[in-house]
Amino acid sequence: MIDLEKLPEQAAKVSHENAKYLKKLKARKPKQLDKVMGALHEEVFQEIDCLSCANCCKTTGPLFIPSDIKRISKRLRLKPTEFETQYLHVDEDGDKVLRQLPCPFLGADNYCGIYEDRPKACREFPHTNRAKFHQITQITAKNVAVCPAVYTMVERLKAALPQ
């Protein structure tokens, strides 16, 4: 298991190598890439327990799309505008994101207080088991520094599919 406190430092050491590797993957689009990533995703998440980490919820925030806002507002018994005012702001890219981190819905036990209704971005994080993985190599490179599972998957991917 990767030491969460050392993850940013470890990720920084391999960031240039990873960026170069992932850029080549994106350009070459190996036929077996999705199959290999799917297998790595399953393998790594058998080893890593998100509830022991929750670093994604502590250090990054998801984008909130209109359907997320509507669903979560209903759960919290707030009007969508009240939810947005209380929890969200518009970032420099024009996206609706959390006002504060860690996520206000993250409990002390690392459980999500709105898990069943969490945003789409949270449901899909870290995006490593999706089809056409080559399309998200830039976000994967960033997530290496956030998620120990992504760090591990990329390291194993470099061994499985050398470029």
Contacts of 120 (CB under 8 A, 6+ apart): 62, 65, 67, 68
100 belongs to a structural domain: yes
Please give the tally of structural domains in the chain.
2
pTM score, two decimals? 0.91
Other beta carbons within 10 Å of 82? 12
Same domain, 114 and 67: yes
| pLDDT for 20 beyond 90 | yes
Contacts of 86 (CB under 8 A, 6+ apart): 78
* Encoded amino acid at 154, one letter: V
Same domain, 96 and 143: no
The sign of the torsion formed by the CA atoms of 66, 70, 75, 81 equals positive
Same domain, 116 and 138: no
Indicate the pLDDT class of residue 1, thresholds 50, 70 and 90.
low
Same domain, 68 and 111: yes
pLDDT digits (tens, 9 = 90+) for 70-101: 999 999 999 999 999 999 999 999 999 999 99
1 belongs to a structural domain: no
Same domain, 84 and 117: yes
Same domain, 45 and 97: no
Same domain, 40 and 90: no
2 belongs to a structural domain: no
Same domain, 71 and 120: yes
Range of the domain at 18: 7-57+126-160
96 belongs to a structural domain: yes
**Average confidence score pLDDT of the chain:** 95
Q: What are 114's two structure tokens?
A: 């709105």
Please provide the DSSP assignment of 34-98 as one string.
Answer: HHHHHHHHHHHHHH--GGGT-HHHHH---B--HHHHHHHHHHHT--HHHHHHHHEEE-TTS-EEE
Other beta carbons within 10 Å of 88? 19
Same domain, 69 and 113: yes
Q: Are 55 and 7 in contact (CB under 8 A)?
A: yes
